[in-house]
Amino acid sequence: MVIDWSDGNKSSLYSLWLRDHCQMPESRNLDNGQRLFSVKDLPSNITIEKAYKDAEGNVCVMFQPENHLSVFCQKWLRENCYELNSHFEDRSEKSKKLWKKDSFDNGLPFISYDLMHSDDTSKVLALRSLREYGFFVLNDVPTQDGQVLKVISELGFTRETNYGALFEVRTEVNPNNLAFTNLGLGSHTDNPYRDPVPTVQLLHCLESSTEGGESILVDGFKAASILREESQENFLSLANTWINYRFSDSKTELRSRVPMIDLNDKKEVIKVRYNNRSIDTINVPQDKMRSFYKAYRHWSEIIERDELKIQFKLSEGDLMLFDNTRVMHARTEFSKSGKRHLQGAYSDLDGLYSLLNRLEMKNNND
Amino acid sequence: MVIDWSDGNKSSLYSLWLRDHCQMPESRNLDNGQRLFSVKDLPSNITIEKAYKDAEGNVCVMFQPENHLSVFCQKWLRENCYELNSHFEDRSEKSKKLWKKDSFDNGLPFISYDLMHSDDTSKVLALRSLREYGFFVLNDVPTQDGQVLKVISELGFTRETNYGALFEVRTEVNPNNLAFTNLGLGSHTDNPYRDPVPTVQLLHCLESSTEGGESILVDGFKAASILREESQENFLSLANTWINYRFSDSKTELRSRVPMIDLNDKKEVIKVRYNNRSIDTINVPQDKMRSFYKAYRHWSEIIERDELKIQFKLSEGDLMLFDNTRVMHARTEFSKSGKRHLQGAYSDLDGLYSLLNRLEMKNNND
């Protein structure tokens, strides 16, 4: 393990981890661990006078000209070593289990709502499935009006939008969205015309007596990785071309300018957006139009490949929850006879992952 | 005006604009304007047989092998011309009015709540100020508990978080955040440890009888542009280095991995995040640590320059609303005698801009 002491970055060597494992340093608030000084408060001529190991095995560093002694316990240093540890909260494809149709031979992540409701172990199981696969399905959720909002309140927070805190998915007359017809819908992510996009979607099945109307899920990160394998050029075209999405109705006029594939600093996929219904006029320089459409068509073809799709029918009481920045959803057309009624809502990953982090930390401390 | 007809991108030439200005094409739903086909449904050997102007002056294009006639009215073509029009919903620095202390010699954007409440013109004025300058202040907002949520409901939607739908900003014993003490706070954006970050913050002053506790705002896009002018290298270091932010309390464990300066495809700034209290251990390759800290220190120094800061005291009934992806806020320390009580809440830009877009479209049609 090598730590570069010479850069004077004493703030980098403090961390909230210290609270759990070592003594809280004076430079942080005792109650909440927040840092009490700004990097600009450090003298620009900062140097290390000496560094040594004390009797308890802590690494001690004496900084000048402030005569400030920083003490780092070994556990903290190990947990924050640049070489041993990866970044946390990495939402990129690298930290996920990418999947296609045949990845679930042992069954889909269906979890009993009763168990999740009452037992932290099931909650961890469900939330880990969200983190790793991008979705889970709860069974036997009471088919009561508004229940989807109760489920969110057990896990995180509702993101209210122009569709309401909760929206009804059933066949409507003059709907403001094709989702509210009996048409089949191709694989898509929701609300790409919204910035910030809702990062979690829930769909709760209250009634299901039509023919058809089956749910389809596709791992958008897997689809993006296939696009990259088949054509690096097309992959980069979609990552580097920002386009407009748009949604209008009588009260709403939502617009965004975003890429279909979002990359992080390491050029790993962190977010996908795909919704052919709401892509607006493509405003790309004329000399890039042809290559953009080539890439867009290729990506659309991959997304609709059968080997990528898992398909199942939501029964009454099933509630599907998925990462709307990764997993695309679709449905098959359904008959006009019988009833199909879902209630949907949006939430955000940060609240759900916060709960998962707390539960995992609790388990580690048990 | 040149339009490349040869790329077969007929979907690119339709748009929701058509609904307002021309006839709705058959390829879109009549009720909601959503596109009814996917790009992959177009034949790969698509060609244009002929293009001509009809008697009404529309441009008509006959596509083969489908024998599909697309008709584009001149108004739509002008509005969607690649060369005449810029992208809409461009949140980048390019579409903003960047400011510093001396930019408001004619006064800050203070707007009467009574007027905004009752009059669309004042609403447009307020929301344009948000879009152009990143903030506005409402005066004479009733100092009632929960009023901040009522104000949001007139403009958009509340983003609930672990702090609640609404949070109290006043001196607390054992606070979970330094905001809830009487300490001064350096300029920062809120919640960079949350992904997606809340894009709008509101602070409503209910009581103000302390010494100090003045509000400070800084245009983060202006600060970023100064950093780029003074050191392109430091600017790029912050844009290209993704770091961890973190917030912990007894129930919450929020983590993010994001850059301090977010760029779009044209390398323009679209988002800034800065909060020295919640930056976690910097996990950067060892050989980049020194250059990162150099850039981070430089940026911190710029943010605290007096010529960038506007400073004013919120009076009882004032409500400040700002773009949390652009405008940094701070406060001066305040005395322990007297009372200072704000109620805060988060919202998102998409809802507010949707309302502004609708009101502007309505004005154009009047």
How near does any CA of chain A get to the CA of B169, in Å? Answer: 16
The domain in which residue A97 lies consists of 93-361
Residue A307 resides in a domain:
yes
Residues on chain B touching A90 (C-beta within 8 angstroms): 257
DSSP-H helix ranges across A165-257: 220-230, 232-240
Domain boundary among B52, B80, B108: B80
Residues on chain A touching B349 (C-beta within 8 angstroms): 195
Q: Are residues A143 and A37 in the same domain?
A: no
Q: Could you report the per-residue pLDDT of A228-261, keeping only the tens digit for each?
A: 999 999 999 999 999 999 998 889 999 999 999 9
Measured between CB atoms, which of B13, B293, B304 is closest to A9? B293
Measured between CB atoms, which of B241, B254, B348 is closest to A350? B254
Residue B86 resides in a domain:
no
Closest residue in chain A to residue B241, using alpha carbons only: A265
Q: Which of B315, B317, B314, B360 is nearest to B113 (CA)?
A: B317
Measured between CB atoms, which of B16, B42, B177 is closest to A34? B177
How near does any CA of chain A get to the CA of B107, in Å? Answer: 31
Q: For residue A151, what is the domain's CATH number?
A: 3.60.130.10
pLDDT value of position A171: 77
* Contact check, Cβ <8 Å, B176/A40: no
Residue A86 resides in a domain:
no
- Domains contained in chain A, number: 2
CA distances for B7 relative to A240, B76, B87, B170, B203, angstroms: 20, 19, 20, 60, 51
Q: Which of B49, B51, B71 is nearest to B2 (CA)?
A: B51
Q: Are residues B42 and B102 in the same domain?
A: no
Measured between CB atoms, which of B32, B240, B289 is closest to A176? B32
Beta strands at B327-331 and B319-323: parallel, antiparallel or unpaired: unpaired
Helix (H) or strand (E) holding A152, with range, is: helix A147-155
The residue assigned the tokens 């909002």 is: A149
Residue A144 resides in a domain:
yes
Residue B40 burial (C-beta neighbours within 10 Å; 0-12, 13-18, 19+) = middle
Q: Are residues A204 and A345 in the same domain?
A: yes
pLDDT value of position A117: 86
Give the residue ranges of chain A where pLDDT is below 70.
1-25, 30-32, 83-89, 173-174, 365-366
Report the predicted TM-score, pTM, of the whole model to 2 decimal places.
Answer: 0.90
Residues on chain A touching B199 (C-beta within 8 angstroms): 195-196
Q: Are residues A60 and A100 in the same domain?
A: no
Residue A234 resides in a domain:
yes
Measured between CB atoms, which of B33, B158, B194 is closest to A350? B194
Closest residue in chain A to residue B300, using alpha carbons only: A40
Cβ(A251)–Cβ(A203) under 8 Å?
Answer: no
* Contact check, Cβ <8 Å, B89/A199: no
Distinct helix (H) and strand (E) counts, chain A: 9, 17
Q: Could you report the per-residue pLDDT of B41-97, keeping only the tens digit for each?
A: 888 899 999 999 999 899 999 999 989 888 888 888 887 777 665 666 679 999 999
Q: Are residues A133 and A263 in the same domain?
A: yes
pLDDT value of position B5: 29
Tokens matching residue A151: 């489920």
Residue B266 resides in a domain:
yes
Suggest the residue from A11, A34, A353 to mutate for an interface test with chain B (most B CBs closer than 10 A). Answer: A34
SS3 (DSSP) at A49? strand
ipTM for the complex? 0.90
For residues B195 and B35, what is the distance between their CA atoms, to the nearest angstrom? 30
How near does any CA of chain B get to the CA of A107, in Å? Answer: 31
Q: For residue A56, what is the domain's CATH number?
A: 3.30.2020.30
Q: Are residues B128 and B76 in the same domain?
A: no
How near does any CA of chain A get to the CA of B106, in Å? Answer: 32
Residues on chain A touching B80 (C-beta within 8 angstroms): 281, 283
Q: Which of B11, B122, B136, B116 is nearest to B70 (CA)?
A: B11
Residue A85 resides in a domain:
no
Q: Are residues A102 and A128 in the same domain?
A: yes
Residues on chain B touching A324 (C-beta within 8 angstroms): none
Domain boundary among A80, A111, A141: A80
Q: What is the mean pLDDT of each run of 10 residues along chain B (366 residues)?
A: 29 37 65 79 91 93 91 84 68 96 93 93 96 98 98 98 95 74 89 97 94 94 98 98 91 94 96 93 86 96 97 96 98 87 97 96 78
pLDDT value of position A206: 97
* Contact check, Cβ <8 Å, A242/B255: no
For residues B178 and A34, what is the distance between their CA atoms, to the nearest angstrom? 7
Count of C-beta atoms within a 10 Å radius of residue A360: 14
pLDDT value of position A89: 67
pLDDT value of position B147: 98
Suggest the residue from A32, A250, A268, A287 to mutate for an interface test with chain B (most B CBs closer than 10 A). Answer: A32
Q: Are residues B276 and B244 in the same domain?
A: yes
Residue A88 resides in a domain:
no
How near does any CA of chain A get to the CA of B110, in Å? Answer: 26
Q: Could you report the per-residue pLDDT of A44-61, keeping only the tens digit for each?
A: 899 999 999 999 899 999
* Contact check, Cβ <8 Å, A82/B42: no
How near does any CA of chain B get to the CA of A354, in Å? Answer: 5
Measured between CB atoms, which of B157, B176, B290 is closest to A161? B157
pLDDT value of position A316: 97
Q: Are residues B20 and B163 in the same domain?
A: no
Residues on chain A touching B36 (C-beta within 8 angstroms): 178, 277
For residues B2 and B121, what is the distance between their CA atoms, to the nearest angstrom? 37
pLDDT value of position B1: 22
Q: Are residues A156 and A31 in the same domain?
A: no
Q: Are residues B69 and B99 in the same domain?
A: no
- Chains A & B: contacts with CB separation below 8 Å: 249
Q: Are residues B58 and B159 in the same domain?
A: no
Measured between CB atoms, which of B13, B31, B240 is closest to A176? B31
Q: Could you report the per-residue pLDDT of B294-320, keeping only the tens digit for each?
A: 999 999 999 999 999 999 999 999 999
- What is residue A176's DSSP assignment? S
Residue A234 CB partners (closer than 8 Å, separation 6+): A227, A294, A295, A298, A299
Domain boundary among B29, B47, B80: B80
